[in-house]
Amino acid sequence: MKKITIGLIGLGTVGAGVAKLIRSRSSFIKSKFGVEFELKTVCDLKLDPQFLKALGKVNTTRDYKDIINDPQIDVVVELIGGLHPAFEILKGALENGKHAVTANKAVISNFGRELFQVAHENKRSLYFETAVLAGVPVIKTITEGIAGNQYKGVYGIVNGTCNYILTQMSRNRISFDEAVKLAQQKGYAESDPTLDINGMDSAHKLGVLVMLAMGKFVNVKQDIHTEGITHISAEDLAYADEMGLTIKLLAIAKKHGKDIEVRVHPTLISKTHPLASVNDVYNAVLLEADPLGDVLLVGQGAGQMAAASGVLSDLINCAVDNRQGDQTWIGNNPDEFEKTNIKPIDTIETEFYIRLTVIDRPGVLSKITGILGAHGISIASVTQKEVRKNSAVPLVMLTHEAKEISVREALEEIGKMKEVKAKPVAIRMERR
């Protein structure tokens, strides 16, 4: 029987769930894996006496250094989130000869290269399954399950808050603000949901996926074009539905030879697309693998026990891997020379959905299509949703593939027309 002592830093929602699982699943883990987990010390700035009493015999501290410097602790679990001191905790744990587990997508996407190097040098393991899709094993699938494959594309619905908001807007025909309030009432959105709805949470997760699937460390803020969902209206979702389409906030990475395009934005997809039926707080990642083909992973991407389940899996894998004498520092070789380049968003070509609010007057449409044509943009279809002479009406267009910069410049010009009464809305499309 192998005994593993654990130091847990961060007793928030996920940390409390991990502590509960370690305690409640101890007999199961012993019998199935031959491993005994001991939660030796927990660290948090605010320690709940009632919760600690329920945990039983466990040491407490408010200083994370007490854990990373304790020679009796084998594995450090970091669950405080953010970049600092999370990075210092993980680096310090690895340097002190401890294995490390984290659910922190931001620290892995920003400091993964350095942390992998430290793990490599110290022959220790770094696990982060919960950084993307909580307990759904997308990291394990990429790095081990189908490790012999190369990945041509990665498409993900990786933020449960945004997916819930868009689902409610579409299903119940409510506004964005109403859907946000509903998500907050249900506990699916923070009181300040900015990092979710502006796309940054998805961008960090995409950074982790690109690093693992395509061997490229990306700068999240500089390399990943990121848009949120604040400009999407219930009308856009209704119009999409009429055309047999739906709108999802997608994290997208595609490999083109030595170039990679990485972007996060609302995306129109067909209702027959594998990701179209992933609704509410569920998340999914679609991998285009070669030679296997498409691999779809779906599950709850948030919530206390979903995330805690992923952390527990990492702890079990860490114990089993190291019992066999292997250090599995997940990720690409930190010494690997990166030969791939990030493709600028301006050069990417996609189809577009465009919604304009224009005065219903003869000649307006021809002027708009003239501007689009001058920028090399071909129209696939045009629909005027209402008829109100000399009043503002919605005009919906679908384009053929067009270059990003061309669409942006054309819409800037169209937006200056006196007949256009609101900022143009453009949503990219993905077809399979």
The encoded tokens of residue 82 equal 């953010």
Angstrom distance (rounded) from CA 284 to CA 113? 25
Other CB atoms within a 10 A radius of the CB of residue 27 amount to: 9
Is residue 180 within a helix (H) or strand (E), and if so which, with residue range? helix 176-185
Angstrom distance (rounded) from CA 296 to CA 361? 47
Point out which residues pair with 359 in neighbouring strands: 392
Which of 336, 396, 342, 331 is closest to 365 using CA atoms? 396
How many residues does this entry show for the chain? 432
Let me know how many helices (H) and strands (E) the chain has, helices first: 16, 18
Is 205 in the active site? Answer: yes
Angstrom distance (rounded) from CA 384 to CA 358? 10
Angstrom distance (rounded) from CA 64 to CA 19? 17
Expressed in angstroms, the distance from the first to the final Cα of the chain is: 50
Distances (CA, A) of 133 to 49, 313, 339: 31, 13, 28
Catalytic hit among 40, 105, 205, 254: 205
Which of 122, 72, 70, 80 is closest to 101 using CA atoms? 80
Angstrom distance (rounded) from CA 380 to CA 115? 48
Q: Residue 247: exposed, middle, or buried by beta-carbon count in 10 A (0-12, 13-18, 19+)?
A: buried
Task: Count Cβ neighbours within 10 Å for each residue of 80-91 and write b for 16 or more, e otherwise.
Answer: beeeebbbebbb
User: What count of Cα atoms within 13 Å lies in the side-chain half-sphere of residue 81?
Assistant: 9
Beta strands in 186-333 (DSSP E): 225-226, 245-256, 259-270, 282-290, 293-300
Give me the active site residues, please.
205
